[in-house]
A and B are shown apart, each in its own frame.
Chain A
Amino acid sequence: MTTPILEVRDLKVEYTTPAGPALAVAGVSFDLAPGEFLAIVGESGCGKSTLLYSIAELLTYPAQTVSGSVRFNGVELRSLPAEELRQHRWRDISVVMQSAMNALNPTLSIGAQLADACRAHTDWDDQQIAERSAHVLSMVSIDVAHLKSFPFQLSGGMRQRAMIAMALLLEPQLIIMDEPTSALDVVAQRSLMRQVENLRRELGFAVLFVTHDMSVVSHFSDRLAVMYAGEIVELGGTRDVFDHPRHPYSSGLMDAFPSLVGAPKELLGIPGNPPSLVNPPQGCLFAPRCPFATDECREFRPELITVNGRAVRCHLVNPRSAV
């Protein structure tokens, strides 16, 4: 196996709340290989975006990373001084935010914003910047004439593609994407995903992709991590997890969206709400909503156990007696 470019170990993030600290990311560990596409899915509030921001060291009060390690190419990001971290950002790791509408500066042209990023992170001259900017825009199928356009002159899909062009500027090894497709409609969504996939094949960057809509990534990601209440509950090959979900929460999620194929059927979703992160239940965090929960589930917190490349956090899949 190749050396991972990103190693996350037992990462914990807390939010300070009036009721006490809420553990939004409760000890997450995973590896990301070079060029790999890992999707993280879960409901709102499961900690998936917080996890991304923690990895990119972008959290601000009231959120803070309390323990764990994030190693990028062997370098511990958590202990890096701000200036060294700045040098890694954009050059090695870039982030595509959820809402391109808010992430782009409305008063500057796309070209000016691309040039801005280049000047902050490279010593290129204007000629090089112009060439590189035109090149990245054409990579995401936006006409070079739009270098002079302002964000409001672009459609939602084009803005989101412009964000991806910005992320590609310095050919990073890792691009972190936080729900880049959720503000788009289906046609634009599909073409954006396709474009990310083609660029990844061409340029070989790794992708960490967060979404609540697992159907979006179903055809694109290599591996899929399902998060619930701050923990990874299932992690495995995307196709494999879709075809044979083993954790009751994953199978609940799979059954929560209607399909265009097959006979129409009644769907129920997952009743109930995620648990409080300030006073989490003693046993399995999913037990209160789980149709298969036993007394054991309510009493003991299950571990994430990997068998044949599939990690599952569930007593029913990995009985305690066998451990």
Chain B
Amino acid sequence: MSGDVLKVENLSRYFRVGGFRSAGTLHATDEVTFSVAPSEIVALVGESGSGKSTIARVLAGLYPPTSGTITFEGERQGKTSSRKVRGRMPMVFQDPFGSINPVLRVGHSLLRSLKLHRPELDKSGRAAEAISLVEKVGLLPGAEVLRRYPHELSGGQRQRLGFAQALASRPSLILADEPVSMLDVSIRIGLLNVMRSLRDDEHVSVLYITHDLASARYVADRMIVLYAGRIVEEGTTEEVIGAPAHPYTRLLMATAPDPRLPLAHDTDVQDLGEPPKVINPGPGCRFAPRCPLAMDQCRLSTPTMVHLSPTQRAACYAIEQP
């Protein structure tokens, strides 16, 4: 697809860990390849430590990539991103309490990003634009919200404000790093609906980073499942949820709490494993130590992505090719 907003190829980001003698390399993300189309919500799903936030941070230019290429709006990105790119691909952070300056009014930070990223607007144009931005994310009445201080807003309202700030620079893609995980369940849905309306009304793409499969299913068009820094499965949401191919995706599905499902006592996985810290990794599938289907081959070489349909791919030796 040539019209992709974002194309990531073989992106890796390693970190040096340990001391002088015990130094090692932590492979936070390893050879990740994916793309995001215009007006599309793509969910990056994985446990803590799967490398999903590292990908977002590399994309946002907070860390340079170790290797691999990022092509954004048809332009290949260098080591650091320019202000223009940061404006076109802003990030919404997880913590709504830590990401907003508490001593300035809500309007201040919004007007400031308008001033930086939208030089064509004059003062009254910026004021009008700020009101329309907060109203787009459902903060009403806009003019009054802009006069408030962050402590006067609830967690859900702050996260909506995070999206308004991201919208200020007229982005083509928003990086949303677990935007709802710190919110109450009853408030999450409102924010998920904001993401959907941004896609449908503003034609913004969203890279939605989460560990919650059910919310990913609710908002995302496509899903990418990460394990220990590598993509293990990707496909349209209904393909991945309807017919998960990789054993890790199945584990995630089985553990997602859902009162509508009966609790399968005998088939439920007694899994106390955790994703490994991938320091100086050898060959082999990284899920093999936890995998019920692991074979000798899984420990010897890394499986490559196999197409199960034009849109669904998974990296697992246990999958029979269609």
Verify A267–B211 contact, CB threshold 8 A.
no
Asked whether B289 is an interface residue with its Cβ less than 8 Å from the other chain, the reply is no
Nearest B residue to A142 via CB reads B272
Scoring B48, B241, B268 by chain A CB atoms within 10 A of each residue's CB, the highest score goes to: B48
Nearest A residue to B274 via CB reads A155
Asked whether B102 is an interface residue with its Cβ less than 8 Å from the other chain, the reply is no
- Give per-residue flags for B266-279: 1 if the beta carbon is below 8 A from chain A beta carbons, else 0: 00101110100000
Asked whether A252 is an interface residue with its Cβ less than 8 Å from the other chain, the reply is yes
Please report which residues of chain A, range 235-276, place their CB below 8 angstroms from some CB of chain B when the two chains form the complex.
242, 252-254, 256-262, 264, 267-271, 273
Number of chain B interface residues as a range: 35 or more
Asked whether B188 is an interface residue with its Cβ less than 8 Å from the other chain, the reply is yes
Verify B48–A185 contact, CB threshold 8 A.
yes
Scoring A187, A191, A216, A264 by chain B CB atoms within 10 A of each residue's CB, the highest score goes to: A187
Sample (16) of A-B pairs whose CB atoms are under 8 Å apart? A186-B252, A190-B254, A194-B270, A213-B257, A215-B257, A215-B259, A242-B259, A254-B259, A256-B185, A258-B189, A260-B253, A260-B256, A260-B258, A261-B260, A267-B189, A269-B188
In the complex, number of A-B residue pairs with CB atoms less than 8 Å apart: 110
Nearest B residue to A265 via CB reads B218
* Inter-chain contacts of B251 with A (CB < 8 A): 187
* Inter-chain contacts of A261 with B (CB < 8 A): 258, 260-261
Asked whether A212 is an interface residue with its Cβ less than 8 Å from the other chain, the reply is yes
- Give per-residue flags for A18-48: 1 if the beta carbon is below 8 A from chain B beta carbons, else 0: 0000000000000000000000000110000
- Give per-residue flags for B211-245: 1 if the beta carbon is below 8 A from chain A beta carbons, else 0: 11111011000000000000000000000010000
Minimal beta-carbon separation of A140 from chain B (angstroms):
10
Nearest A residue to B273 via CB reads A187
Verify A257–B185 contact, CB threshold 8 A.
yes
Minimal beta-carbon separation of A13 from chain B (angstroms):
20
* Inter-chain contacts of A189 with B (CB < 8 A): 255, 257
Verify A260–B241 contact, CB threshold 8 A.
yes
Verify A214–B185 contact, CB threshold 8 A.
yes
**Candidates A43, A156, A253; contact of B48 at CB < 8 Å:** A156
Whether A258 touches B48, Cβ cut-off 8 Å, given contacts A190-B257, A216-B257, A269-B187, is: no
Number of chain A interface residues as a range: 35 or more
- Give per-residue flags for A265-301: 1 if the beta carbon is below 8 A from chain B beta carbons, else 0: 0011111010000000000000000000000000000
* Inter-chain contacts of B184 with A (CB < 8 A): 43-44, 212
Whether A257 touches B274, Cβ cut-off 8 Å, given contacts A185-B211, A186-B256, is: no
Nearest B residue to A224 via CB reads B259
Nearest A residue to B155 via CB reads A44
Asked whether B190 is an interface residue with its Cβ less than 8 Å from the other chain, the reply is yes
Complex alpha-carbon distance, A254 and B212, angstroms: 17
* Inter-chain contacts of B270 with A (CB < 8 A): 191, 194
Verify A253–B186 contact, CB threshold 8 A.
yes
Complex alpha-carbon distance, A262 and B258, angstroms: 12
Verify A257–B252 contact, CB threshold 8 A.
no
Minimal beta-carbon separation of A270 from chain B (angstroms):
6
Asked whether A218 is an interface residue with its Cβ less than 8 Å from the other chain, the reply is yes
* Inter-chain contacts of A305 with B (CB < 8 A): none
**Candidates B47, B218, B263, B271; contact of A264 at CB < 8 Å:** B218
**Candidates B47, B154, B214; contact of A257 at CB < 8 Å:** B214
